[in-house]
């Protein structure tokens, strides 16, 4: 066998993994007021990704915490006769009942001051009454964005250590107050409290060599605000309907009002469910860890275990990394 090689032979490009630059936000991810700048430091997922994430709750079968829900499923459509005429009066009545405080999202954070578990403003009971002194506060502190964080971390570990490493990820999640979502042979998904998201990602990265990581932040503040406003409106409508029902002159009128009352209640349930879902997603961040086996032949143990090892020569010569049985015996 004779070969004549060009001069460039043997000069292969170095293969390396990409390690995306990630500067996590400088403060707790949720449960505090995150500044817009910090949100932009992380890569924001595309709209399609966000949609998948937020709507895939049914896939996370073993999620336990906050009752997440069936609320995502669309409510059954109301009878056609009741639907059309009901909406405009509902809105007018609601505004009248609340004294015109329900502008679309604008006054909500100020008028409702109770903070949810994810640091979001949530409707306070009797929220309409609180708006006497709130506008000044609203101008001083902008509402905290509701962010849903997800992280995907690819790690490289020895094949024999994949299971143990993924076990450690699960243990880590539990120790931080999180929980397991899904587990396969080489991948694990856990949720950790968003307030400890940054710490969680850092501790996961300490478990093994990181090949790649992606951090996404999905801002659902607008949707949450919309839901809050709609819920407030519907509460007012329900109150008025209940009053109408109490004053109904005959059975036919009572039936019509009861039908509308039922539709409004269903809509409120659906909105509350969706709000619970968003709050839960923002409260617990999803961390997906995928383990890739390190191609390595590991052989006899160190002849002098525990002995001090001097720093080895690390030449930037690619072919040295390709020596050994691992590649030699791989014929495909």
Partner 1 sequence: MTTLRRLPLLLALSLLAPACASFHVNTPNGFAELEDDSRYDYRATNADGVVIAVRVMRNEPEASLEFWGRVVDERLRRQGYTPEGNPEPVRSANGVAGVMFRYGATVGGRAHRYQVAVFVRAKKVYVMEAGGDTEVFDPAAPAVARAFGSFRT
Residues in touch with partner 1 (CB under 8 A): 1-7, 9-11, 296-300, 312-313, 315, 317, 319-329, 331
Across 170-315, where does the E strand assignment appear? 179-183, 187-193, 209-219, 284-294
With tokens 């587990």, the residue in question is 183
- H/E run at residue 153: strand 147-158
CB atoms within 10 A of CB 203: 18
At closest approach, how far in Å is the CB of 314 from partner 1? 9
At closest approach, how far in Å is the CB of 62 from partner 1? 34
CB atoms within 10 A of CB 82: 17
At closest approach, how far in Å is the CB of 2 from partner 1? 5
Question: Is the Cβ of residue 126 or residue 312 nearer to partner 1 in the bound state?
Answer: 312
Q: Which residues, 6+ apart, have CB-to-CB distance to 126 below 8 Å? A: none
Question: Is the Cβ of residue 17 or residue 319 nearer to partner 1 in the bound state?
Answer: 319
CA pair distance 71, 300, nearest whole angstrom: 57
Question: Is the Cβ of residue 1 or residue 308 nearer to partner 1 in the bound state?
Answer: 1
CA pair distance 136, 212, nearest whole angstrom: 45
Give 21: exposed, middle or buried? Use CB within 10 Å, 0-12, 13-18, 19+: exposed
Question: Is the Cβ of residue 140 or residue 310 nearer to partner 1 in the bound state?
Answer: 310
At closest approach, how far in Å is the CB of 318 from partner 1? 9
DSSP string, 161-208: GHHHHHHHHHHHHHHTT-EEEEE-SSEEEEEEEGGGHHHHHHHHHTTS
Helix 251-283 with 221-246: angle, nearest 10 deg: 160
Q: Which residues, 6+ apart, have CB-to-CB distance to 156 below 8 Å? A: 17, 208, 209, 210, 211, 291, 292, 293, 294
Residues 201 and 215 sit within 8 Å (Cβ to Cβ): yes
Question: Is the Cβ of residue 126 or residue 306 nearer to partner 1 in the bound state?
Answer: 306
At closest approach, how far in Å is the CB of 17 from partner 1? 19
CA pair distance 286, 190, nearest whole angstrom: 6
Question: Is the Cβ of residue 202 or residue 322 nearer to partner 1 in the bound state?
Answer: 322
Question: Is the Cβ of residue 222 or residue 321 nearer to partner 1 in the bound state?
Answer: 321
Question: Is the Cβ of residue 76 or residue 332 nearer to partner 1 in the bound state?
Answer: 332
At closest approach, how far in Å is the CB of 161 from partner 1? 15
Beta bridge partners of 293: 157
At closest approach, how far in Å is the CB of 293 from partner 1? 13
Question: Is the Cβ of residue 129 or residue 328 nearer to partner 1 in the bound state?
Answer: 328
At closest approach, how far in Å is the CB of 319 from partner 1? 5
Residues 165 and 293 sit within 8 Å (Cβ to Cβ): no
With tokens 């709050």, the residue in question is 279
- Dihedral, CA atoms, 97, 103, 104, 105, nearest 10 degrees? -110
At closest approach, how far in Å is the CB of 324 from partner 1? 6
């Amino acid at each position: 066998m004779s070969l004549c090689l060009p001069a460039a032979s043997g000069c292969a490009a170095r293969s390396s993994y990409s390690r995306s630059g990630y500067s996590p936000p400088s403060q707790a991810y949720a449960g505090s007021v995150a500044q817009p700048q910090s949100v932009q430091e992380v890569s924001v997922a595309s709209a399609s990704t966000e949609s998948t994430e937020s709507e895939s709750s049914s896939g996370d079968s073993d999620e336990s915490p906050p009752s997440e829900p069936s609320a995502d499923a669309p409510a059954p459509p109301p009878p056609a006769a009741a639907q059309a005429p009901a909406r405009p009066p509902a809105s007018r009545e609601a505004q009248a009942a609340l004294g015109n405080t329900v502008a679309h999202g604008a006054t909500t954070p100020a008028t409702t001051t109770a903070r949810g578990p994810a640091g979001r403003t949530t409707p306070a009971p009797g929220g309409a009454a609180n708006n006497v002194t709130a506008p000044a506060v609203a101008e001083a502190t902008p509402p905290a964005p509701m962010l849903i964080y997800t992280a995907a971390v690819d790690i490289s570990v020895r094949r024999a250590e994949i299971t143990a490493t993924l076990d450690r990820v699960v243990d880590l999640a539990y120790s931080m107050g999180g929980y397991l979502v899904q587990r396969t042979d080489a991948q694990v998904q856990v949720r950790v409290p968003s307030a400890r998201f940054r710490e969680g990602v850092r501790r996961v990265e300490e478990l093994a060599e990181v090949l790649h990581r992606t951090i996404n932040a999905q801002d659902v503040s607008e949707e949450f605000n919309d839901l809050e406003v709609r819920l407030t409106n519907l509460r007012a409508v329900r109150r008025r309907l209940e009053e109408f029902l109490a004053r109904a002159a005959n059975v036919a009128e009572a039936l019509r009002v009861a039908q509308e009352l039922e539709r409004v209640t269903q809509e409120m349930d659906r909105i509350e469910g969706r709000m619970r879902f968003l709050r839960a997603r923002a409260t617990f961040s999803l961390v997906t860890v995928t383990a890739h086996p390190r191609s390595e032949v590991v052989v006899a143990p160190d002849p002098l275990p525990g002995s001090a090892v001097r720093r080895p020569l690390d030449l930037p010569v690619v072919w040295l990394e390709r020596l050994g049985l691992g590649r030699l015996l791989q014929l495909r």
